[in-house]
Amino acid sequence: MFSDSDSEYGFLRKGKKAGAALLFVFLSLPLLTGCGRKLAPEPPLQVLPARIEPVRLSQEGSDVVLRFPYPSKTNAGEMLTNLTGVTVYRELLGAREGQKPPETPTEAAAREREEKGFRARAETIQRLSRTELDAATVGRDVVVRDPLVPLFREGRLGRVFLRYGVTAQRDRRKVSELSPLVALLPRVAPDRPFAVVPAVEEGRVCLDWRAPVAMLDGARPAKIAGYAVYRREAADEEYEDRPLGVAIGATTYVDATVAPDLDYVYTVRAAPVTEIPLILGPAADEVAVSTRDVFPPPSPEGVLALFEAGGARLVWNPSLAGDLASYRVYRRERDGWKRIAEGLKDPVYFDSRTHDGGAAPASPVAAGAYGVTAVDKAGNESPMGEAK
């Protein structure tokens, strides 16, 4: 039997347990309701064409020329599909005397403000469809030309900067970020150089040309600060946009970077100023050049015939030709020179054969004379160096 105090204690104990259970359920309600609540979905990453860069700019004659990579990647780095075209924008900015073309800020916020202002002021000068884009592609680059004739007629060349930006589009409304902005100050350029004459020498090509006599607007004399020389292989469609070299104060250029056995094409453009981006006149008529090796090495020097028992020993100075392949040795017979050795790698040879079937020669007079030639890797043979 339980006493009154025991009954009261049991009731209290049961009451505490019930209260703890109710408290647990109460505290658990927010957790249970939180697990079932749905958060607002985040918008998916929009797949856009990647930003087009770099955009390279130059003036060639009466055109501004833009070159940029063909759009091939998305902003996520994946292969771009459904490309529909490219849009080229241009704005005109007033230019003060001696002012340099504006550069795009590197700081993100300043660049964003600059691009926002450009979008508000710029006009669309070209919209290239996918078909037009493919037609304008040379190698990996898209080449777009912006004619300067309207600005020339308005008398604005040299007075305004031209600044450009490019975007790519996929599907209908998915447009890339604006490309880096690029600008130049267009000018009246010199006319084309003429009478370009190449001279091929071993390991190099020398070019000479005549200077233009007037500017493209007919003004004389032509104002020329220098020349840009371009080279391409005959199988290539276009020249690189960067010149092979420049000539300042001269109408000659030596290209010492040619490779043997190739066909090259050269042209030259005149520049009124030495600035970047390049301001260039029209290209001179192209000249074709072949660097096929037709140049023999120099003849061997110091050829000596040393007569000793059993034959004649020939020695000579080593050839310094960079493309030397071997030497050949000749002996004078009654009916002329006879080749007696070839493919020699060292500048020495011993002739132990008898002369016209007789005994071994005892002197140059009895044996006839000896001669040595050098042969290069292209098979060109040098003049003969005769023994003394």
| Tens-level pLDDT at each residue, the chain (388 residues) | 334 444 444 433 445 444 444 444 444 444 444 455 565 565 566 899 999 999 999 999 999 999 999 999 999 999 999 999 999 999 999 999 889 999 888 899 999 999 999 999 999 999 999 999 999 999 899 999 999 999 999 999 999 999 999 999 999 889 999 999 999 999 999 999 999 999 999 899 999 999 999 999 999 999 999 999 999 999 998 899 999 999 999 999 999 999 989 999 999 999 999 999 999 999 999 999 999 999 999 999 999 999 888 899 999 999 999 899 999 999 998 889 999 999 999 999 999 875 544 444 444 444 448 999 999 999 999 999 999 8
Task: Say how many C-beta atoms besides its own lie within 10 A of residue 327's C-beta.
Answer: 25
For tokens 């007075």, the residue is 159
Q: Is 35 helix (H, G, I), strand (E, B) or coil?
A: helix
Q: Are the C-beta atoms of 140 and 69 separated by less than 8 Å? A: yes
pLDDT, position 364: 44
For tokens 């990579």, the residue is 69
For 338, the token pair is 């006879």
Beta bridge partners of 337: 332
| 179 burial level (CB within 10 Å; 0-12, 13-18, 19+) | buried
Q: Which CATH class is domain 194-290?
A: mainly beta
Q: Are the C-beta atoms of 380 and 334 separated by less than 8 Å? A: no
User: Are 194-290 and 304-386 equal in CATH topology?
Assistant: yes
Q: Are the C-beta atoms of 175 and 48 separated by less than 8 Å? A: yes
* 257/254 Cα distance (integer angstroms): 9
For 313, the token pair is 């020993």
* 192/375 Cα distance (integer angstroms): 43
**Residue 42: its H or E element:** none
> Residue 300's closest CA among 202, 375, 203?
375
> Residue 168's closest CA among 53, 77, 65?
53
Q: What is the sign, positive or negative, of the torsion defined by CA atoms of 125, 128, 129, 135?
A: positive
CA angle 213, 208, 280 (to 5 degrees): 50
Q: What is the CATH code for 304-386?
A: 2.60.40.10
pLDDT, position 331: 94
* 350/341 Cα distance (integer angstroms): 10
Render the burial of 251-269: b for 16+ CB within 10 Å, e for the rest.
Answer: bebebeeeeeeeebbbbbb
Task: Say how many C-beta atoms besides its own lie within 10 A of residue 4's C-beta.
Answer: 7
Sheet harboring 245-247: ordered strands across? Answer: 245-247, 226-233, 263-271, 287-290
Q: What is the sign, positive or negative, of the torsion defined by CA atoms of 350, 353, 356, 361?
A: positive
pLDDT, position 42: 57
pLDDT, position 131: 96
Q: Where are the domains of the chain?
A: 56-184, 194-290, 304-386
**Residue 249: its H or E element:** none
Q: What is the CATH code for 56-184?
A: 2.60.40
* 5/91 Cα distance (integer angstroms): 98
